[in-house]
Amino acid sequence: MKSLSAPLLALLATTTLAQAQTADQPMYVSGDLRFDYADTNGGDADLAQIDISLGLRMGAPGGNPLGFELGIKGYESAEFDLSDYALFPTLWVETGYGKFSVGAPRSALADRIETPRFGGSRIADPLLDGALNTTEALATLGDQSFYGLRYDGTFGDYDVGASWHHFDNNADTLTAVVARDLGAFDFALGVELIDAPGLNEENLLATLGYDAGQYGGRFTWGQSGIVGDTDGVALEGFYKPFDPLTLGASWGRIDAGSDPHILGVSAEMEFLTNGYAGVGYVDAEDADNAATAWVGWKLDY
């Protein structure tokens, strides 16, 4: 398996450099560093995550901005015996017809529709990626080399995106998504097609969110062709009694076997502007209940 140590060291060095840049510099960093822990009836679990993008934006003749971006996404877990990551190096150019990327771009679908967090925890992210973000699961967890193309644009009031990836096991994936921001409301619809030797499936995702600042919620529906056309729905809500504290509640149902339900509650506190820490509890039918905790740092420089 690929070790996370090398990209982590590069990340720390680059992040330190990025924080020293002023706002008018072309370098940018965005993403998240996070560690989750869960104590269940059957034992405990841990998951460290890196999901960041390092970029350089430049001008070009004719006034079209262009640049280079390196994405790093990875998981490490002693309990799950997991230590894998993927690099997403991409060249991009912005034109009057949209943004075009070539190299190894991120999935357009995964960038716009986030999978639910039950009880505030992300410890199930590798499993959810495998079911609903197959492109990034193949890259991050499948130990596959890959390349691809991506397009992002705006048509009227709608944002659209599409990406194509080819993996060295002869798998091809195609994602497409359309989204719109309606002030406090937003919605997005997406599809992911997977064509591999002996496999031809699709994943479908839809989400509708409401954010009034102090409170809000989100509905997400997904159908995973990778997991036998399994359907799932999730409802998430949040409330901020005061600015640094966010209280959350979540409910989900998976159309598999006995249609198990998942309930979760959480509390998360922000600190030092970009830091956050939280605790939660997840009550799941046909699975171990879990008390969860996490700490993370958001990168936005």
Q: Where are the domains of the chain?
A: 5-300
User: What is the pLDDT at residue 128?
Assistant: 86
pLDDT exceeds cutoff 50 at 7: no
User: What is the pLDDT at residue 61?
Assistant: 60
User: What is the pLDDT at residue 256?
Assistant: 67
pLDDT exceeds cutoff 90 at 81: no
pLDDT exceeds cutoff 80 at 11: no
* For residues 2-28, average pLDDT: 52
* For residues 131-160, average pLDDT: 93
pLDDT exceeds cutoff 60 at 5: no
Q: What percentage of residues in the chain have a pLDDT greater than 90? A: 71
User: What is the pLDDT at residue 130?
Assistant: 85
User: What is the pLDDT at residue 64?
Assistant: 84
Q: Model pTM? A: 0.87
206: nearest Cα among 237, 233, 236, 228 = 233
pLDDT exceeds cutoff 70 at 13: no
CATH code for the structural domain at 5-300: 2.40.160.10
Which pLDDT tens digit goes with each residue over 154-186? 999 999 999 999 999 999 999 999 999 999 999
Distance CA 9, CA 139 (A): 21
161: nearest Cα among 146, 179, 173, 183 = 179
User: What is the pLDDT at residue 218?
Assistant: 97
User: What is the pLDDT at residue 1?
Assistant: 42
Which pLDDT tens digit goes with each residue over 239-273? 999 999 999 999 999 886 666 789 999 999 999 98
* For residues 93-100, average pLDDT: 94
Which pLDDT tens digit goes with each residue over 113-124? 998 999 999 998
